[in-house]
Amino acid sequence: MTSFNHRKSAVAAIISMLVLLVMFPAVSSASIDPLKGSKVAEEEMYVSGMLSPIPIITKPEKGGWYVNDELLFSGMPTTRIIGAITVTVKCIDPTGNGLQKVVFKVDDVAVGVDSTPDFDGEYYWFEWLCDSELPSGEHELKVVAFDNLGNSQEKSITVLKGLVLNAVEVEYVTYLEVTENLELEGLEVVEMSGFYTLVLE
C-alpha cells in the first residue's frame, strides 16, 4: 500500500510540472542576455549601428621619406615629405553602412575631403593631393572617416615637411651610411648656417 502511495505521489508531481510548463513556457536562453536580461539580437543591432569606420593611413607610411610623391626610403626615424604627396587612406566598414567621406586635416584644421572613394570589395580607398596645405616644419596629419550613419573615427601621423633635417635625422644619415643611398637618388646632405639641408642635385 505504501509503495502504491509513493507511485501515486510521483505521478502527481510529474503532472504538476507539466501543467506549469504549459502555463509558463520557458524562454529560450539563446535570446536572453544573462547579464542584462535583454534580447541579444536587439543588443547586437544597437551595437552594430554604433561601430565606427576604421581608417588606415597607407601613404605616407611611418618612417618613409618621400620626394615629389615618390617613396625613396623606408624605416627612417622620421616621416619626411619633400614636395607634394598624395595622402592615401584605406577604410574598413565594419557594419556595412557604407562610407561617406574622409576629411583630411593638418594640425587639426580641415584642408581637404574625398567623398568619392573606390571600393575593391574589401576596403574603401580615399586620397587627397597635399601640396601647399602642408608648410615646412613638423605637423600632425590627421584623417577622419565618416560612414553613412554619421559615425566617425580618426587616425593621425606626425610628418616633417621640407628640406631642413633635424639632429636625429642627421645622426641617422651619418651613422647608418644612408648618405650613399641618398646620392644614388640625386640627393645630398649639406651643412648650411648650422643647419643640415637635403639638397636636390
Whole-number Å distance between alpha carbons of 63 and 74: 6
| pLDDT at residue 88 greater than cutoff 80 | yes
- Tell me, rounded to whole angstroms, the distance of Cα 135 from its chain centroid: 25
Kindly report the CATH number that applies to the domain delimited by 52-162: 2.60.40.10
Residues of the chain above pLDDT 90, percent: 46
- Domain ranges (residues) in the chain: 52-162, 163-201
String of DSSP letters for 115-178: ---EE-SS-EEEEEEESTTS-SEEEEEEEEEEETTS-EEEEEEEEEESSEE-HHHHHHHHHTT-
Q: Which residues partner with 157 through β-bridges?
A: 141
Whole-number Å distance between alpha carbons of 174 and 157: 25
Q: Please indicate whether residue 108 or residue 13 has the higher confidence score (pLDDT).
A: 108
- Whole-number pLDDT of residue 157: 97
User: Residue 35: CA atoms inside 13 Å, Cβ hemisphere, count?
Assistant: 2
0.85 cut: is pTM over it?
no
Residues of the chain above pLDDT 70, percent: 74
- Whole-number pLDDT of residue 94: 92
> Which grid cell sits at 29?
536562453
Cis before residue 34, ω within 30 degrees of 0?
no
- Whole-number pLDDT of residue 134: 83
Where helices occur in 24-127 by DSSP H, the ranges are 40-50
- Whole-number pLDDT of residue 172: 86
Q: What is the pLDDT of residues 28-73, one digit of tens each?
A: 444 434 444 444 444 444 444 468 999 999 999 999 999 999 998 8
Query: Which residues have CB under 8 Å from 164's CB, separation 6+?
Result: 136, 195, 196, 197, 198
Find the angle CA(9)-CA(13)-CA(15) to the nearest 5 degrees. 115
